[in-house]
Amino acid sequence: MSRKRQTIEEIMEHDVAELRELEGVKKEELAEVQKELRRYEAALESLLGKAPAKRRKRGEDNGVLS
């Protein structure tokens, strides 16, 4: 019975390690998506003319992004 328990614990440890790795990858993906979303929101605000002056690029009076 002890051998079965050890095998089960090894399987569980392996599964937990895989899940932790997957969690890390998903967190990195989420951070990248959030970064892109902020960039798109800033671009949209700029196009609508609602971006604060410091977020607008210099020399772009019409709000068109380069």
pTM over 0.85: no
Task: State the pLDDT at residue 36.
Answer: 97
Task: State the pLDDT at residue 66.
Answer: 45
The residues spanned by each domain of the chain are 2-52
Give the separation between CA 55 and CA 49, rounded to whole angstroms.
11
The residues, any chain, with a CB within 8 Å of residue 64's CB and separated by 6 or more, are: 47
Task: State the pLDDT at residue 54.
Answer: 62
pLDDT beneath 50, residues of the chain: 66
- State the DSSP string of 17-58: HHHHHHHHHHHHHHHHHHHHHHHHHHHHHHHHT-S-GGGSPT
